[in-house]
A and B are shown apart, each in its own frame.
Chain A
Amino acid sequence: MKENRYVVKKDLDSHLLWKGEGPPLAHLDIELTERCNNACIHCCINKPAGDKRSLARELETCAWKDILRQAAELGMMTVRFTGGEPLLRKDFPELYLFARRLGLKVMLFTNARLITPQIAALLADIPPLEEIEISVYGMRRESYEAVTGVEGSYAGFRNGVQCLLDRKIPFVVKGALLPPNKKETAEFAAWAATNPRMDAPPSYAMFFDLRGRRDSAAKSSRIRRLRVSPEEGLDILTRHPGSYLKEMSAFFEKFSSPPGDRLFTCGIGPSCVDAYGVFQPCLSLRHPDLTFDLEKGSLKEANVSGFPRLREMKATNPLYLKRCARCFLRGFCEQCPAKSWSEHGTLDTPVEYCCRVAHAQARFLGLVMEKERAWDVRDSAERIQNLITRVAVS
């Protein structure tokens, strides 16, 4: 931070700015549309680009502006426009400008296919102040389009990226590890490394979520089949073992206690508004009992009155209480009410896949032994301390 006499640069992430506990709402995800111009085989949310039912239900421009205005009044600094493909909304430039003129920083999650020279000019003239994140599905037309299912999508992605490069607009890339592109990881990493904004190898989505709306058993079943095995995922996560171990050591130093029956252990959020104006505790949690229709109340009511209730919710499922509630990996495991909802239609059913992924990593870290279950471990504190010591001296 550079200090001047009167004007001080602030890094909001440090929270040094806030005098009190911070604003009621610091960040909001806005799912502008569930529609997408890709039809990715692993996607948990997409609807076809021209889906008439979605188009008819999506919030209009003025309603989104009202939500953005309310969010800014609650102190929000950053909005993330996501989807579906957010650039499918014809009013994207208008909403983007509106958000920026409210003094919001904008994160944009996109597949880049609809980034035109005009969109790039907008992003260059009025920078989002946050990096643009581009999902990459393959390094070649064949692999890319085998994932997206759309002919011409690869060329569109490349064109969109070129528009950003031409205008020197910063962006980062992330991958989705799928059968059609599994052999391209080195090529993807090499390409990503040419991007000055990528200070680490690209991350991969690979432990895919099932359909968040529980709208298609067939699609969820396909997503299950596309997930990497826990061992394969571990290989990817530990490509750079030194940094992985350091990261894990730091994590377990902070989060290592079994959660008990408290259902939400994630801190909840960032909260989200879906394409139809329904407020959700997070992007993934669409359980109807936990959402709030913003046509019936304000964002403040949804945010301030809803969250304390969530924090007090308890798990009741006996299997959860026997396993997850007693498990020292619980904060590390991706098990959460949203995963439970998309997998089982309940909030507190253990998700076997998450459990297997967490155990595979814990075995690599020396926190659990072969065939041992983390909820049966009695000396977890000692094992974690051993990990921390081992990493510190290595």
Chain B
Amino acid sequence: MKKIRMDMIFSHSSDVVSREIDGALIIVPLTSGVGDMEDDLFSMNETGTEIWNMLDGKKTVQEVVEALAQQYRAEPAEIEQDVAGIVTELLKRRMLVEATVA
């Protein structure tokens, strides 16, 4: 599994389409092989949604962590772990791609 570095930048994969319906973020597979079943749709918890929205192909992981740290009273190490966790999971699911490597 790829190690997530703080200088990495990620963007949403073109293999999925994200939509917001009735206040909920839904990630819809576009190409075959995303998810375990072809008819799977995905949603995220609140933290996941927030992080997803910040993974815009411009911000580094570090910047995402810093932005979250300003909003939440949590230890930076804990936020860092959360962000790395979701990035890892989304990469595994082909919902995220690495945009550039600094």
Give Cα A342 to B38, complex, Å: 38
Q: Which 10 A-B pairs have the closest CB atoms?
A: A103-B17, A6-B48, A103-B28, A103-B19, A6-B86, A75-B21, A10-B43, A127-B38, A18-B22, A19-B23
Chain B proximity of A181: nearest CB distance (Å):
31
Q: Is the interface of B mostly helix, strand, loop or mixed?
A: mixed
The reply to whether the CB of A4 lies closer than 8 angstroms to some CB of chain B is: yes
B41 and A126 within 8 A (CB): no
The reply to whether the CB of A23 lies closer than 8 angstroms to some CB of chain B is: yes
Give Cα A125 to B31, complex, Å: 6
Could you list 4 further interchain pairs (A-B, Cβ under 8 angstroms) beyond the known A23-B22, A103-B26, A129-B41? A8-B43, A17-B43, A18-B21, A103-B30
The reply to whether the CB of B6 lies closer than 8 angstroms to some CB of chain A is: no
The reply to whether the CB of B39 lies closer than 8 angstroms to some CB of chain A is: yes
Give Cα A127 to B30, complex, Å: 7
Give Cα A292 to B23, complex, Å: 29
From known contacts A103-B17, A105-B39, A124-B32, infer whether A18 and B24 are also in contact, taking CB-CB under 8 Å.
Answer: yes
CB-CB contacts below 8 Å: B13-63 with A: 17-19, 21-24, 26-32, 35-36, 38-45, 47-48, 51
Give Cα A6 to B87, complex, Å: 10
Chain A proximity of B48: nearest CB distance (Å):
4
The reply to whether the CB of B89 lies closer than 8 angstroms to some CB of chain A is: yes
A4 and B21 within 8 A (CB): no
Q: Is the interface of A mostly helix, strand, loop or mixed?
A: loop
Q: Chain B residues near A2: list those with CB within 8 A.
A: 36
From known contacts A7-B48, A7-B93, infer whether A77 and B39 are also in contact, taking CB-CB under 8 Å.
Answer: no
B48 and A9 within 8 A (CB): no
B22 and A8 within 8 A (CB): no
Contact with A along B76-102 (1 / 0, CB 8 A): 000000000110011001010000000
Chain B proximity of A29: nearest CB distance (Å):
19
Residue in A closest to B28 when the chains form the complex, CB atoms: A103
Q: Chain B residues near A102: list those with CB within 8 A.
A: 17, 19
A10 and B32 within 8 A (CB): no
Chain B proximity of A71: nearest CB distance (Å):
12
From known contacts A18-B22, A75-B22, A103-B17, infer whether A7 and B42 are also in contact, taking CB-CB under 8 Å.
Answer: yes
The reply to whether the CB of A101 lies closer than 8 angstroms to some CB of chain B is: yes
Residue in B closest to A128 when the chains form the complex, CB atoms: B38
Question: Which of A5, A7, A105 has the most chain B CB atoms closer than 10 A to its own CB?
Answer: A7
B24 and A17 within 8 A (CB): yes
Residue in B closest to A8 when the chains form the complex, CB atoms: B43
Q: Chain A residues near B48: list those with CB within 8 A.
A: 6-7
The reply to whether the CB of A72 lies closer than 8 angstroms to some CB of chain B is: yes
B32 and A126 within 8 A (CB): yes
The reply to whether the CB of A242 lies closer than 8 angstroms to some CB of chain B is: no
A9 and B42 within 8 A (CB): yes
Can you name 11 A-B residue pairings with CB atoms under 8 Å? Answer: A2-B36, A4-B89, A5-B85, A6-B47, A9-B41, A18-B22, A100-B17, A103-B30, A127-B38, A129-B28, A170-B38
